[in-house]
Chain A
Amino acid sequence: MDYFAQQLINGIVLGSIYGLIAIGYTMVYGIVGMINFAHGDIFMIGGFIALISFLILVSLGLTMVPVILFIVLLVSMAVTALYGWTVERIAYRPLRHSFRLAPMLSAIGMSFVLSNFSQVSQGARVKPVPPIITGGYTLLEQNGFAVRLSNVQIIVVVSTIVLLAIFTWLVARTRLGRDMRACEQDQIMAALLGVDVDRTISMTFVIGSALAAVAGMMYLLYYGLVDFYMGFVAGIKAFTAAVLGGIGSLPGAMLGGLAIGLIETLWSAYFSVEYKDVAAFSILIVVLIFLPTGLLGRPEVEKV
């Protein structure tokens, strides 16, 4: 029972990370109707930026952990958001009205560029960091097995909740959110009504990338390492989460993320670790076959 409880905690933490990435997928798919294949690699870049800024701050002599974390968070979000903005400007905007395969191949190309860019610029080896945040709480102890909730885990979940609240408010209440929803429904009409479609789409990518950066930083804190390949696998899983939750739905993305995180953790714990990725990919296939609109998505009726 305690083993299960521990896996639950771990699963929720992992799921929060996936959820943050999934939000980026679902927002972009909702507004421009494309799967941003490079988004997983944006997450990876976010992790790298966090790693490097962290290293610099420490070597500059800062020791107060909350200050370091805050600065790293800001830097990582800002720089990664710029990466997302640049990718959209260079690789997607020129192809917005092109035929459908073009932005997809461009996105795949961009994905290769980002992952190989980090491989070339930072070397192919995995980059480990010593644990930055230590300590935690023992929730209960039984038969020699302790269910632990570490501080890192708390930070991850709390940050996720806070960010999710902020962005839900953003989408529902602000002008930008309204513009986004308008563009999702009918881009041409929105433009005719004075919405700056280009800027709105750019902001969508920026926000999605910023959230992915947070996920990258959380990943770094939680697992203590980054590598250039982590974007590919995490990307597919996060996309699975977005689809599971219902593409286009913000809470759905988070829900899907939690589901995937839990399934992956429980599968590794109780069945086999080697096949955990297979489990995640299989879920994608199963969901798309049997529940294509996801848990919280809206069913699409084909108009003839």
Chain B
Amino acid sequence: MSADCILMVDHLSMRFGGIVAVNDLSFDAERRKITALIGPNGAGKTTVFNCITGFYKPTAGTMRIAHETGAEIRLERLNDFRISKQARVARTFQNIRLFPGMTVLENLMVAQHNALMLASGLTFLGLIGAPSWRSAEKRAIDQAKLWLERIALLDRADDAAGNLPYGDQRRLEIARAMCTEPVLLCLDEPAAGLNRRESAALSELLLSIRADHGSSILLIEHDMSVVMEISDRVVVMDYGQKIAEGAPRDVRDDPKVIAAYLGADEQEAIAVMESGT
């Protein structure tokens, strides 16, 4: 591997009973780059995500995270919360999973739970109001405020998260994931349901995350304008397998990819492309 990879997926397979959702998938995501995972519906993209983020135990294969310290973590060996806590992989969800009954600010504070728990001395320092706890809390609030400014929700910090409009909720979910200070951010269809303006703002946010925080991003997306604009690398799946991989432009023109999206076969796609229509 010439490039510095943060995520290495090798021969990943996932079976549900008789159904093979993911079949021998291998790909890498480079550090400090944005990698997009695309493919028609039912291709198995969210299943891959769920394997990487610990919601499913893969039937076969390995997924490795390489931290900059040189430590390598096998994701299939960790279960649920440890993937966020130890492997520093954060994710957002297709159906937005905020804490609707808590305020925007509280949502971002929950994300910093592990750091705050340590700072509160497993709660005991917090109970007695120790100054070290108080300053740690203040730092966490400041961190939250920073993110709120970036996603332009600072004036809605005290509103219930469930009351926010859809686009704001999506951005809040991303900010919340970033508050866990991950090395890899996995986004499940972050542009779903966003209009053109909101998609552009999202692209800008993701690009700034890559630039300023040095986080690597892996995203599933159907909105091709977002994919083309921000991805450094695209992996295409269909029927649980990888059918193409490369720079966005190359993937876009690949007849196999076109055929998969059209539901046609490859020969037809080549014929259509060559005829110039």
A interface residue numbers (CB < 8 A to B) = 301-302, 304
Docked Cα-Cα span, A304 to B220, in Å, equals 14
Docked Cα-Cα span, A302 to B55, in Å, equals 8
Closest beta carbon of chain A to B123's beta carbon, Å: 27
Chain B 17-59 against A: per-residue CB contact (8 Å), 1 yes, 0 no? 0000000000000000000000000000010001000010000
- The 6 sampled A-B contact pairs (Cβ below 8 Å) are A301-B16, A302-B55, A304-B46, A304-B50, A304-B55, A304-B93
B interface residue numbers (CB < 8 A to A) = 16, 46, 50, 55, 93
Q: Return chain B residues, CB-CB under 8 Å to A304.
A: 46, 50, 55, 93
| Shortest Cβ distance from A304 into B: residue | B55
Q: Return chain B residues, CB-CB under 8 Å to A301.
A: 16
Interface of A is mostly: loop
Q: Return chain A residues, CB-CB under 8 Å to B55.
A: 302, 304
Docked Cα-Cα span, A302 to B54, in Å, equals 12
Docked Cα-Cα span, A43 to B16, in Å, equals 40
Q: Return chain A residues, CB-CB under 8 Å to B93.
A: 304
| Shortest Cβ distance from A302 into B: residue | B55
Q: Return chain A residues, CB-CB under 8 Å to B16.
A: 301
Closest beta carbon of chain A to B48's beta carbon, Å: 13
Closest beta carbon of chain A to B52's beta carbon, Å: 12
Closest beta carbon of chain A to B91's beta carbon, Å: 9
Q: Which 6 A-B pairs have the closest CB atoms?
A: A304-B55, A304-B50, A304-B93, A301-B16, A302-B55, A304-B46
| Shortest Cβ distance from A301 into B: residue | B16
| Shortest Cβ distance from B188 into A: residue | A304
Closest beta carbon of chain B to A296's beta carbon, Å: 16
Q: Return chain A residues, CB-CB under 8 Å to B46.
A: 304
Closest beta carbon of chain B to A101's beta carbon, Å: 15
Docked Cα-Cα span, A302 to B57, in Å, equals 12
Docked Cα-Cα span, A304 to B52, in Å, equals 13
Docked Cα-Cα span, A302 to B50, in Å, equals 11
Docked Cα-Cα span, A189 to B55, in Å, equals 28
Closest beta carbon of chain A to B274's beta carbon, Å: 42
Docked Cα-Cα span, A224 to B93, in Å, equals 59
Closest beta carbon of chain B to A121's beta carbon, Å: 43
| Shortest Cβ distance from B94 into A: residue | A304
| Shortest Cβ distance from B16 into A: residue | A301
Docked Cα-Cα span, A301 to B50, in Å, equals 12
Closest beta carbon of chain B to A297's beta carbon, Å: 14
Q: Return chain B residues, CB-CB under 8 Å to A302.
A: 55
Docked Cα-Cα span, A302 to B16, in Å, equals 12
Closest beta carbon of chain B to A300's beta carbon, Å: 12
Closest beta carbon of chain B to A298's beta carbon, Å: 10
Docked Cα-Cα span, A8 to B71, in Å, equals 61
Closest beta carbon of chain B to A165's beta carbon, Å: 30
Docked Cα-Cα span, A281 to B117, in Å, equals 37
Q: Return chain A residues, CB-CB under 8 Å to B50.
A: 304
Docked Cα-Cα span, A301 to B56, in Å, equals 9
| Shortest Cβ distance from B50 into A: residue | A304
